[in-house]
Amino acid sequence: MSSAPSSTAPSQPAPRLMRDLLDLLASMRFAIALLTVICIASIIGTVVKQHEPYNNYVNQFGPFWAEVFDKVGLYAVYSAGWFLLILAFLVVSTSLCIARNTPKILSDLKSFKEGVREQALRAFHHKAGGTLALAPDAALQRVNELLTAQGWQARAQVRANGTMVAARKGMANKIGYLAAHSAIVLICLGGLFDGDLVVRAQMALLGKRAYAGGGSIADVKPEHRLPLANPTYRGNLLVSEGGRAGTAVISMSDGVVLQDLPFDVELKKFIVEYYDTGMPKLFASEVVVHDRDTGAKTAATVKVNEPLIHHGVAIYQSSFDDGGSQLTLRALPMKGRSEPFTVQGTVGGSTRLSKGGSDADALTLEFTGLRVINVENLGDSATPQAAGSATDVRKVDLSSTLDKHLGSGVKGSRDKQLRNIGPSVGYKLRDASGQAREFNNYMLPVELDGQKVFLAGLRDSPNEPFRYLRIPADEQGSTDAWWRMAQALRDDEMRAKAVRRYVAQATPADKPQMAEQLTTTAQRALALFAGAEHVVVPGGKPQDSAPGGLPALAQFIDTTVPEGERQRISEVLLRIINGCLVELANLSREQAGLKPLGSDEATQRFMTQAVMALSDAAFYPAPVMLQLADFKQVQASVFQVARAPGKTLVYLGAVLLIIGVFAMLYIRERRLWIWLAPADDGAGVGGTKLQAALSTTRRTLDTDAEFESLKAALLHDATPAAATAAAPKDTP
């Protein structure tokens, strides 16, 4: 007997714990907390770019936080396990809430609550009373006609001492509650079903794995492919003009999986139109869908927001890309003395460039993109003062130049002036260690500050803006004149000839003894500018010296000239350098069979920019610069293909949500009770005593007005004494 309590006592907390858990899951506070977390996660998923390469996140957040955010799953929020778990809990919580309240709501929808006692009507805020000069039966008939005319549903309960009429209106408010909560469940279920949860489940159950390699899609093994019977998926399909494809790529956090489609999409023509700003205004694809089962061909045009539906699979126009344009590039060696050469390739492909005799010196050239239209802001920044200073090749501002190596392509624009500056090519040069720099070079010269220049951009990281080397265009609209100058600058013999010519012109006729000193100074300055001689930095290492250009001259002045003499010596050296470079340009033109430079303003502008470009070229980090010589553009269309059966649930949930919110906000539930009892004034004259009360879920001015109107209609023929006696009862 004594063991019975001990055997049953431990089992009591378990049901209580289950009840507490069910109460928590079914509570409104828990559901609101889950919705709040989902909203925060959605904001994070919007702010943080999803499914980017991990290196991009490292550059943006740093190694530590990039790893922390990766562990939390912020780079794929909508497919993170915790996000899907929260959605599942929200479905469970809302479903329990619906299950708990539905019986009560259904009971309320059926009930008129006519069993209310007549004494309880006096406790309501909205109440009225009076005596009608009608018999009870006539009064009941009149009340029924009035309620029916005003849209009330009514039911009468006859009692021994009178009749209780119970009426109701606005019961759709409770239906709105069920509709809104059901909408949340349907939308979450649709999101779970159309997300990658089903794909992940198939990967776990069918032994599928994400693919993280490269190569052709046709070479990917079956363990990285999902079956045709996959009920739900969403992937991308890239199709080049004139080509066809039938395998979608689904991005996962650790790679991609391939989804074979029951059809092939052939891209006949890609159409794109642009705004004046260079942004795409319209892009569409003329396609032919080849059904694999029947062989049928379906022609259609796919536009943004106008998808093509084929056998339950929606084909959306997502974006566009390069489909393998053929490029012809002219490579200009930036180091040493070698001739230009031609490189051919395809966007998306790569080739090898050898810097030396070993594979360790080889660079991999990756063709990353071709842009045929580039609309840039080329506001007029060349004020008369700036233009005037730019006409004198001797007025190169050494101090203001040191911090502007490879600067932005367009600077100082005041007035917004959009202009298409022509095609550009993007490529990467990757060394043997895998490190790559990105380059973006324009095909045609751009006029900046009165001088046409070729822009050769580069950056070390995708998070950095491009810095541009500005190479002046010659009279033929090419870089040949400048490049010949650069080649001559690297030649010891050419530099010596240029110095001799400059000294012969610059030495005063009455001071021939200055020629030797001027020659020595000019040779040293030109060698420093060319990078053929380096400044010995006191206490520094060889790599601390500038590689050439104006910074090398500035470093030489800072280390050898007293501070008080630096400004004067800088001006002298700049005049010498500019004079020698003019002679060097003429020597290079003579070798090419061209006439010497003139002395007009255009020549002065060309030489000013040429000096700056030669100085900046010393810092160019690549052995070659590639110019776009010719191209054959091949467009590609990026489609998003989706089989989304859950969208029906989402659409239904959206409709229910609209109905539910509208019902809860704009429909007020009201219940009305009218008690009718025989009245006797003591003289034997009969009448009907009326007592009315109104209940509502929300007290509003409209409710007050409605009850006042109803009270006036009920008591419009009541005796004055009775109406007056009932007045105090209307006050709260």
Q: How far apart are CA 672 and CA 148, in angstroms?
A: 13
Residue in 19, 179, 15, 28 with CA at minimum distance from that of residue 93 = 28
DSSP string of 24-69, one letter each residue: HHTSHHHHHHHHHHHHHHHHHHHHSPTT--HHHHHHHH-HHHHHHH
Q: State residue 198's pLDDT score.
A: 80
Question: What single string gives the DSSP state of each residue in 123-182?
Answer: GSSEEEEEEESS-HHHHHHHHHHHHHHTT-EEEEEEETTEEEEEEEE-THHHHHHHHHHH
pLDDT of residue 357: 52
Q: Is 221 exposed, middle or buried (0-12, 13-18, 19+ CB in 10 A)?
A: exposed
User: Phi and psi dihedrals of 450, rounded to 5?
Assistant: 85, 0
Q: What is the pLDDT of residue 538?
A: 63
Give the model confidence (pLDDT) of 157-196 as tens digits.
999 889 999 999 988 888 888 898 899 899 888 888 877 7
- The pair of three-digit structure tokens given for residue 67, joined into one six-digit string: 């790893």
pLDDT per position as a tens digit, 687-721: 889 999 999 888 888 889 999 999 999 887 665 43
pLDDT tens-digit profile of 47-66? 888 767 777 788 788 888 88
Report which residue type is found at 89. F
Cβ–Cβ under 8 Å, residues 415 and 379: yes
pLDDT of res. 416 = 63
What does the pLDDT read at residue 315? 93
* Residues in the chain where the model's pLDDT stays below 70: 1-14, 51, 253, 277-278, 355-361, 378-416, 536-545, 680-685, 717-732
Give the pLDDT confidence score for residue 722 in this predicted structure. 41
Instruction: Give backbone dihedrals phi and psi of 463, rounded to 5 degrees, phi first.
Output: -85, -5
Q: Based on the number of CB atoms within 10 Å of its own CB, is 418 exposed (0-12), middle (13-18) or buried (19 or more)? A: middle
Cα dihedral 616, 617, 618, 624 sign: positive
- State residue 641's pLDDT score: 92
Query: Which is nearest to 675 in space by CA: 114, 135, 235, 192?
Result: 114
